[in-house]
Amino acid sequence: MQELKKSLRDSKSARWLMLGLVSFTMMCMYYLTDAMAPLQERLQANLSWSASDYGLFTSGYGWFNVFLLMLVFSGMILDKMGVRFTGILAIAIMLIGGFIKYLAISGHFHGMFELTIGSWQMIAPTTKSAVVAGFGFAVFGVGCEMFGIAANKAVVRWFRGKEMALAIGLNTSTGRIGTALAMFTPIPLIKLTGDISMPVIVSLFLLGIGMLVFVLFTFMDRQLDQEDANAGVAADEEFKFADIIEIGRNRAFWYITILCVLFYSAVFPFIKYATNMIVQKFGITDSFAGYIPALLPFSALLLTPVFGSMFDKKGRGATIMIIGSILLVCVHLLFAVPSLNSFPIAIGLVMVLGIAFSMVPSAMWPSIAKIIPESKLGTAYAMTFWVQNWGLMGVPLLIGIVLDKYCITGTLNKLVDGKEQVITQYNYMIPMLIFACFGMVAIIFSFLLKAEDRKKGYGLELPNIEHRKTTV
């Protein structure tokens, strides 16, 4: 026991420094993820994209993770090779994908793309730049999700039995600073340089810095490995295919996983379309509209540690997920009401969504660590992220198609970056109702999870720190 107390894991300064290094890289990662989110109108105007093209591009994030099972392989690599190797590999993949996206956005691909087999048209005619951008986003998505599960496992490894939910919440919310910056910095960058690809260039530069910062973390983590070995702490078991079957038999795991895909399908795709929705519904310029969605990750940054700390000290993880899902439904239903179109209402609803966005993840990710052994945690997170990617891939594409088919209200001649462009106008009521439906089903699975916890005694309603002490 005396040896363990001297380890890096038991040093508050060391484990919080570790969290800061990983979280900074997460922030850089999320900036590149969302750097094009405020630019839907400009992409449609400058690259001749439709809303469906934009939806195809944003759906690209999940193509390889879903159809090539890359997330499952990422979990295997993580459990086999460890956090350090997996994290560096993930960042390298993200840089490659981001560069491909840059080539597409910067205008290197022109014309239309049609995929047909015989006389059967596989997809509607799509601009080549949207397809290539989607491909780059797909490569980036592999690295992004790989780094996400590696970061989660790193935090659990350093904080298990301590401030685990708080640490996971801080890691997630610090990453969301990148999303917030991506909401309001791209348009000023474009106006300053006249280059629509400039946000991606800046993103790649920041992610390069993030890689250097993560290398510093690897030195700390290697030292922790040596201390664990000297103290006789057993190393993680290597991955076995039987782990997938064992995890898949856990009903509570599937309740959390389905809740995850439903919740994030109502948040992340919303962020992708939020700037354009706010411009069109609330009559605000896109230069300013990005500041409103940015309130969501900023409020999450402030509140996620609060709910994470609450889960650590008071418990009630399943209850927190239920309340967060209810708030999600309320926000999207109110966004769907046509008469609620004043600027203060937009700010208020986004702030409430930020509360929901703080509550659910702060309880959801630590809950997986409570029901799955640490040796299988990388695979479990990978399976959860894989299911989540079905939503991150399909929902943006669905929203884009719905907008083009059912929500066009007309066109508007508008001055964009000094050029007069024809801008398509949309009514976002149907997309908001779709997001609300996801939230309603999420509420059901939150209650199912709470009932399963009561039946099996996983301790989701118990405090993290006290619960871990009683099981050592």
Say what percent of the chain tops pLDDT 70.
88
> Which range, 175-189, 368-382, 426-440, is most confident?
426-440
CB-CB contact of 268 with 423 (8 Å)? no
Q: Is the pLDDT of residue 414 over 80?
A: no
Residue showing tokens 């935090």:
155
Strand ranges in 70-152 using DSSP code E only, listed in sequence order: 112-113, 116-117, 120-121, 126-127
User: How high is the pLDDT of residue 127?
Assistant: 81
Tell me what the mean pLDDT of segment 154-183 comes to.
82
Give 226: exposed, middle or buried? Use CB within 10 Å, 0-12, 13-18, 19+: exposed
Name the DSSP class of 236: P
Nearest to 398 by CA among 43, 136, 59, 105: 59
Contact (CB, 8 A) for 90 and 144? yes
- Best CA proximity match to 101, nearest among 253, 246, 204: 204
Identify the pLDDT of residue 97: 96
Q: What is the pTM of this model?
A: 0.80
Range of the domain at 131: 2-471
Q: Count the Cβ atoms, other than its own, within 10 Å of residue 290.
A: 25
When pLDDT is cut at 50, 70 and 90, the band that residue 46 belongs to is confident
Lowest mean pLDDT among 235-239, 278-282, 293-297, 431-435: 235-239
pLDDT of residue 143: 96
Q: Across residues 181-209, what is the average pLDDT?
A: 91
- Provide the mean pLDDT of the chain: 84
Look at residue 264 in the predicted model and tell me its pLDDT: 92
The predicted-structure confidence for 364-404, as pLDDT tens digits, reads as follows: 888 888 898 877 877 888 889 889 989 989 999 999 999 99
Distance CA 163, CA 408 (A): 49
With 0-12 / 13-18 / 19 or more C-beta atoms within 10 angstroms meaning exposed / middle / buried, residue 285 is exposed
Widest CA span of the chain, in angstroms? Answer: 73
Residue 451 predicted with pLDDT over 90: yes
pLDDT for 370 equals: 87
SS3 74: helix
**CATH number of the domain enclosing 450:** 1.20.1250.20
Q: What pLDDT digit, counting tens, does each position of 262-318 carry?
A: 999 999 899 889 888 988 888 787 767 778 887 887 777 778 777 877 777 888 888
Task: Please state the domain count of the chain.
Answer: 1
Task: Say what the pLDDT of residue 363 is.
Answer: 85
Which of 109 and 65 is assigned the larger pLDDT? Answer: 65
- Output the pLDDT for position 160: 75
442 token code pair: 């999420």
**pLDDT of 78-115, one tens digit each?**
878 889 999 999 999 999 999 999 999 887 765 565 54
